[in-house]
Amino acid sequence: MEERRPGHLGVTFLGTSSGQPTLTRGLSCVALVRDGDLFLFDCGEGAQIQFRKAGLRFGRLRAIFVTHMHGDHVTGLPGMLMSLQMTGREEPLPIVGPPGIGEFVRETARMIFTGFGFSLDFREHSEPGLVYEDDAVVVEAHPLEHRLFAIGYRFAERDFPGRFDVEAATALGVTPGPDFGRLQWGETVTTATGETVRPDQVLGPPRRGRVVSYCTDTRPCQGSVVLSREADFMIHEATFARDRLDDARETGHSTAEGAAAAALKAGARRLMITHFSPRYTEPDVLLSEARSIFLNTEAAAELREYVI
């Protein structure tokens, strides 16, 4: 039996612009791929085109998570669902988001005379808590602070078993082979001499699963800190530079410094800023300001995969 251990986990930004697309940036959409399973966070206009450019596979999509109902985060959703229909999807699709996401999709589908051959599992949330889980991952949501109701997400792998001590298992009389695997997966085994060996006798401390947080659109707030506590990869909007602080406060957004301060307070390991105002042709000034507070910051580049 194969050891359960951390596998591939990567994030690809399909859109990094705020409000409107530019010639070089699409609207908000992030693809997270874990061992082949694909999760989308937001789905702005043109997301399905970027999805194809990134070489992602529609059949791998497991769920979509939407932060709020502003158009630059949801207008690509109907088209994405139509592409899934065209590829023959039959598996139900969870769509997690704020109240109203279900009505938006249903009414859009009605108005453009389209339907889907797979069920849409709408999960609308307005309170903190668990919003999705499977055998390998859990996703939690928490309200943020924007001009309208918005939620952020914390994507976390379940803990992995501790490292397997081959020498200890052999000394206890466990025969190499399937029994090694059973112990690694948490099962008790019986040796050839009738002795019982428990997993805790041959496994080290559990290994923490990796955590990715997604916080946009929002002012700096406690919600983003809660979601990003000790996150391996924190994604946070950085719409403006410090000279536009008043604009950020008025529109419910963050400056790059605000995003960095949240990362520092959360104890995140790595910060990725995104959701750049179109006024910034290049995000250099945003990156510089963020790094003055939180050094391990990068500015998201579209269609590049960041491996975690």
For the stretch 54-80, pLDDT in tens is 999 999 999 999 999 999 999 999 999
Same domain? 178 vs 114: no
Same domain? 127 vs 270: yes
- pLDDT tens-digit map of 229-257: 999 999 999 999 999 999 999 999 999 99
Q: Which pLDDT does position 5 carry in this prediction?
A: 60
Distances (CA, A) of 266 to 79, 103, 218: 36, 34, 16
Same domain? 187 vs 242: no
Q: What is the 3-state secondary structure (H, E, C) of the chain?
A: CCCCCCCCEEEEEEECECCCCCCCCCECEEEEEECCEEEEECCCCCHHHHHHHCCCCHHHEEEEECCCCCHHHHCCHHHHHHHHHHCCCCCCEEEEECCCHHHHHHHHHHHCCCCCCCCEEEEECCCCEEEEECCCEEEEEEECCCCCCCEEEEEEECCECCCECHHHHHHCCCCCCHHHHHHHCCCCEECCCCCEECHHHCECCCECCCEEEEECCCCCCHHHHHHCCCCCEEEEECCECHHHHHHHHHHCCCEHHHHHHHHHHHCCCCEEEECECCCCCCCHHHHHHHHCCCCCEEECCECCEEEC
Q: Which two tokens stand for residue 39?
A: 């999760």
Q: Which pLDDT does position 4 carry in this prediction?
A: 53
Same domain? 103 vs 40: yes
Same domain? 126 vs 220: yes
- pLDDT grade for 1, boundaries at 50, 70 and 90: very low
Same domain? 197 vs 212: no
- pLDDT grade for 52, boundaries at 50, 70 and 90: very high
Same domain? 170 vs 299: no
Same domain? 215 vs 265: yes
Average pLDDT over residues 182-200: 86
Length of the chain: 308
Same domain? 90 vs 220: yes
In a domain, 1, yes or no: no
- pLDDT tens-digit map of 141-185: 999 999 999 999 999 999 988 888 898 888 888 888 888 888 887
In a domain, 179, yes or no: yes
- The CATH number given to whatever domain includes residue 15 is 3.60.15.10
Same domain? 140 vs 231: yes
Residue 176, classified by CB atoms within 10 Å of its CB into exposed (0-12), middle (13-18) or buried (19+), is: exposed
In a domain, 55, yes or no: yes
Structural domain span for residue 175: 166-201
Crossing angle of helices 284-291/256-266, nearest 10°? 40
In a domain, 261, yes or no: yes
Q: Looking at this protein, which amino acid is placed at residue 27?
A: L
**Do 12 and 41 form a contact (C-beta atoms < 8 A)?**
no
Write the CB contacts of 130 (distance below 8 Å, at least 6 apart in sequence).
Answer: 138, 139, 140
Percent of the chain surpassing pLDDT 90: 83
Question: Which positions are annotated as active-site residues?
Answer: 72
Same domain? 35 vs 176: no
Mean pLDDT of the chain: 94
- Enumerate the β-bridge partners of residue 9: 34
In a domain, 2, yes or no: no
In a domain, 19, yes or no: yes
Quote the number of domains for the chain. Answer: 2
Write the CB contacts of 107 (distance below 8 Å, at least 6 apart in sequence).
Answer: none
Same domain? 71 vs 212: yes
Rounded Cα–Cα distance for residues 252 and 176 (Å): 58
